[in-house]
Amino acid sequence: MAAVTHCTPKPILQPPQTTPSPFADFPLAELENPALSDLYYVLCNELNQEEVLLNLTTARANGVHLGFACWMNFDILAEQNTPYALLCDANDNMIALLNVIKSCVLASDAPGEFMEKFWKNLSSNQELDFQSLLGIDRHYDKASFALLMEQKGWLSTPEKFHAIKTMYAEERILHHHLNIVDVNAFAELKAWAQRHDLVFYTIYTSNIANWLHHSRGQVEVMLSNIETLLNPNTSVVSAQKSDPLSQEAPKQELTVGSHPKLKYTTTSKASTRHPGGSVRGNLFG
C-alpha cells in the first residue's frame, strides 16, 4: 500500500517561549502518526458559514478553540485569532488528514503553494482512490478547487493563511483523537483548561448530532459533554438538517453560552457515522 507522503517543512524562526505551552501536559494519550488510508469530508458543505464567521468575536488571550471535522475549523481560527486550538475527531483518518494539512501548511509560503502541495499529496496517493471521491454533482478538478479556495475562507488571503501557519509554527494547534461522547475525556479536558486558566472560547461540532440521532442517549451525552466546557461567552457552532434523514445540506447556527437547540430527538434508523467522528463520503462534502 502507498504511504502518505508528508510535505517537508521549511525552516521557520519561532519566537522564544516565555511560558511553557499548555499542551505540554495535555491529558489525553496521543496517536502515533495514524496512516491516511481513506478520505472523509474535507471541505465543508454546511449552509450559513459566512454569517456565522461574521458573528464571531475576537478570542480572549486565554481562549481555546475546540473543533471536530476539518475545514471549517481553519476558517474559524483565521477569523478569530484564537490563541490555541484543539482539532479533534473520533476517526483516525481525520487526524491523519489534519496531519497532512499541517505538514503542507508548514512547507508553504503562500495559499497557492499550499493548494498545490495539498492537491498533489492526496491525488498522488494511490491508496485513497482520490478521483472517485470528488463528488457526484460537483466534479472538482485542481483548477476548480483553487478557484473555490480563493473566493472565501482561510486560503482566500495571505494574511489568513499566515495566521494558521503561525499557529502551527508556534505549536498552538494540537490534533487529537477524541470521541464527542467520551465523558471521561471531557472531564479531563475541563480539568486541563482550569489548570492553565484557559477558556473554551469557540466550539465547533459540525453536524455530529445528525449522525447520533438514532440514539437519543448519545445525543444527550454529547450535549452534556459540551456543556461541561461552556462559559457564558463560549460561541458554539453546530450544523443541523431540519430532517436528519433528508438529503439537504445541514445549516450552521451560532449560539453563545449554550449548544444550539436540536430540531429533532431520535429515530429508529441507524447511522453510518462513528460517534464524534466523520462520515465517509465525498472529498468535498
Report the pLDDT averaged over residues 244-259. Answer: 84
Q: Flag the least confident range among 82-86, 194-198, 207-211, 263-267.
A: 263-267
Report the pLDDT averaged over residues 77-99. Answer: 91
Residue 250 domain-assigned (yes or no): yes
d(CA 257, CA 143): 40
Q: Which of 88, 77, 145 is closest to 111 using CA atoms?
A: 145
Residue 37 domain-assigned (yes or no): no
Q: What are phi and psi of 281, to 5 degrees?
A: -175, -160
What lies within 8 Å, CB to CB, of 217 at 6+ separation is: none
Q: Looking at residue 80, which CATH number applies to its domain? A: 3.40.50.150
The C-alpha angle 255, 71, 203, rounded to 5 degrees, equals 30
Q: Which residue has the higher pLDDT, 133 or 38?
A: 38
Report the pLDDT averaged over residues 88-107. Answer: 92
pLDDT in the model for residue 276: 46
Report the first-to-last Cα separation within the chain, whole angstroms. 25
Residue 195 domain-assigned (yes or no): yes
| Domain boundaries, position 228 | 54-99+168-256
Report the pLDDT averaged over residues 21-31. Answer: 83
Q: Is residue 263's pLDDT more than 80?
A: no
Q: Is residue 260's pLDDT more than 60?
A: yes
Q: Could you give the number of structural domains in the chain?
A: 1
3-state secondary structure of 175: strand
Residue 261's DSSP bridge partners are none
pLDDT band at 129 (very low <50, low <70, confident <90, very high): low
Given strand 63-68, what is the order of strands in its sheet?
A: 173-177, 84-89, 63-68, 199-206, 235-240, 251-256
Report the pLDDT averaged over residues 188-209. Answer: 94
Q: What are phi and psi of 186, to 5 degrees?
A: -70, -35
pLDDT in the model for residue 244: 66
Tell me the one-letter amino acid at 231.
Answer: N
Q: Is residue 92's pLDDT more than 50?
A: yes
Residue 91 domain-assigned (yes or no): yes
Residue 44 domain-assigned (yes or no): no
pLDDT in the model for residue 243: 72
d(CA 68, CA 4): 22
pLDDT band at 238 (very low <50, low <70, confident <90, very high): very high
pLDDT band at 13 (very low <50, low <70, confident <90, very high): very low
pLDDT in the model for residue 133: 43
Residue 230 domain-assigned (yes or no): yes
Cell of 163: 495566521
Q: Is residue 210's pLDDT more than 90?
A: no
pLDDT in the model for residue 12: 44
Residue 196 domain-assigned (yes or no): yes
Residue 275 domain-assigned (yes or no): no
